[in-house]
Amino acid sequence: MDRDRKIAGVICALVAFMLFAGRTWAQDLKKATVATTSAGAAAGLISKIINDQRLDKKQGLDIDFKYFDPAKAEEAVFFKTVDAGIFAPVSAVRANLKGQMIQLFQPIMLSHFSIVVPTDSPVKTIEDLKGKKLGLLARVSAMYTSFATIVKMRGGDIEKDYQLTFGTPQALNAFLLRKDMDAIGQFDAFTSKLLAANQAREIATFNDLWRSETGQPLLIIGIAAHKEWIDKNQDLARRLGRAFADGVRMLKTNPAKVIEEQKEFLGVKTPEEVRLVTSRMPGIFVEGWTPKLLENTKFLIQKNVEMKILDQMPREEFLRNLE
């Protein structure tokens, strides 16, 4: 009997210890609210991986992801309704010039924009599109500003060289399928779905066009926050960046498994859609800053200033390497 009571006492003590340790561990997690993109958008994929695989806990974090469309996600960071979130480099500079010192502290994604045409279109190259109808996201979007920069670097003028129409990703797809446009700009996973259904043909990617002009990839999205928040929370921001790097690394290590697990989030259904997304998407994500990526992103801003898309270079540093 005494032996049984001793065993029961040990078990109770162990259970109490585990419960206490669990509560303490949970209390030690640093909390952060992060704006990201909702289902179907590539940037949100890494957030979803982090959430599903609890990669934030590995970094001692408890991340509360808030899902928006891209513009609303940037607004959430700008108006400080979240701690951090996705932001485009050009948008960060615009905010800086308005007195909101927003800094990108973790790169996530290279450009995933493409120019696609109907499958039976005679158009083969960007040059073939001159004078034709082109559908793009709004002028404030990263799609428009990055393509305008590329066209300018190639000696053209986006407003003069094309008959532009603007719309949402879904509207652009409708324009293309009805052949109201000769071509549209689109992004993955929307692009892969069009290609998989044989509804479009890709004639160029923005990343390849930018690389042909600069020799470097085109960064389109990073994680950003107000400089004041980063200054006060450098360790938290560093851990947040590492969680995103872990998510990217997991995708690159086993893309087939990850895409299969996340196909509902991405909105891909058929085997061909899954195959294309699996082959195309991992390559657009990056794990962290390199000197060349930092330099090239600043070069992008310089070109936007030269084109008068931006009034001037930012007053303060808009990129930040916390490692």
Among the residues of the chain, which ranges form H helices?
2-28, 42-53, 55-58, 70-78, 89-97, 142-153, 158-161, 169-177, 190-196, 206-214, 227-232, 234-253, 255-266, 271-280, 291-306
pTM of the model: 0.82
Q: Say what the pLDDT of residue 23 is.
A: 46
For residues 135-141, give the mean pLDDT.
82
269 lies in some domain: no
My answer on whether 236 and 181 are in the same domain is: no
The DSSP secondary-structure symbol of 129 reads: G
My answer on whether 94 and 240 are in the same domain is: yes
My answer on whether 56 and 203 are in the same domain is: no
Q: Say what the pLDDT of residue 9 is.
A: 58
Which residue segment(s) compose the domain that 171 sits in? 113-214
Q: Say what the pLDDT of residue 303 is.
A: 84
Total Cβ atoms within 10 A of residue 144? 20
Rounded to 10 degrees, the C-alpha dihedral 20/23/28/29 comes to: 150
My answer on whether 106 and 225 are in the same domain is: yes
Q: Say what the pLDDT of residue 34 is.
A: 95
My answer on whether 243 and 192 are in the same domain is: no
Q: Give the 3-state secondary structure of residue 165.
A: strand
The pLDDT > 90 percentage for the chain reads: 55
Q: What is the tens place of the pLDDT at every residue in 202-218?
A: 999 998 999 888 888 89
Which of 195, 230, 254 delimits the end of a domain?
A: 254
279 lies in some domain: no
Q: What is the tens place of the pLDDT at every residue in 231-255?
A: 999 999 999 999 999 999 999 999 9
For residues 293-304, give the mean pLDDT.
89
- Residue burial 238-266, b: 16+ Cβ < 10 Å; e: rest: bbbbbbbbbbbebbeeebeebbeebbebb
My answer on whether 118 and 206 are in the same domain is: yes
Q: Say what the pLDDT of residue 7 is.
A: 57
Domain count along the chain: 2
63 lies in some domain: yes
My answer on whether 88 and 172 are in the same domain is: no
My answer on whether 131 and 82 are in the same domain is: no
321 lies in some domain: no
Mean pLDDT of the chain: 87
My answer on whether 117 and 102 are in the same domain is: no
CATH code (residue 243)? 3.40.190.10
Q: What is the tens place of the pLDDT at every residue in 144-190?
A: 888 988 998 888 999 999 999 998 888 999 999 999 999 999 988 88
CA nearest to 77, candidates 46, 113, 106: 106
Confidence of residue 317 (pLDDT cuts 50, 70, 90): confident
For residues 98-109, give the mean pLDDT.
93
